[in-house]
Structure 1
Amino acid sequence: MNNSVTFQTLIEYVEELSPEDQDLLIELIQKRRIEKRRAEIAENANQTLTALKSGTAKRGTLADIKADLLGEE
């Protein structure tokens, strides 16, 4: 069951809200985006820690990493 609406329809719905409700909606969306990004960062950190513990992570200076990525010695 897909109850999706077009972006334009969504904008029209939002415009029908009171200014206070629009502000609340903006705040809610911002907070949810922040939380989603925090979860992504935490997942990346966990993956990095796992790679470090298993020895599959590469370490080095920026020059070392750049050389490795470019296939240089």
Structure 2
Amino acid sequence: MLKTSEFQKAIESVENLPLDDQEILLDIIQKRLQEKRRKKLAEEIKEIRQEFANGDVQFGSVNQFLEALDQE
């Protein structure tokens, strides 16, 4: 409940800003979220490349994948 309260306080703080400031804040938050998504994607790509380099990646058709699941 404390988390919701802090979240509500943040929303109220933003709502108390002038409209121009709210728009600037929204733009900043959107850009930061985009950057976080880019970094996360880059990390995932790095992990996948490492798995591929280690030979931990297998290729095949969907049917082969389903057959392998059935064997487990």
Identity of aligned residues (%): 34
Structure 2: runs of 5+ lacking an equivalent: none
CA distance in 1, matches of 2:56, 2:25: 43
CA distance in 2, matches of 1:11, 1:17: 10
Q: RMSD of the alignment, in Å?
A: 1.9
Q: TM-score, normalised by structure 2?
A: 0.80
Q: TM-score, normalised by structure 1?
A: 0.79
Please state which structure has a larger fraction of its residues in helix: 2
Q: CA deviation at 1:46?
A: 0.5
Structure 1 residue ranges, 4+ long, deviating more than 6 angstroms after superposition:
none
Q: How many residues are paired up? A: 68
Structure 1: runs of 5+ lacking an equivalent: none
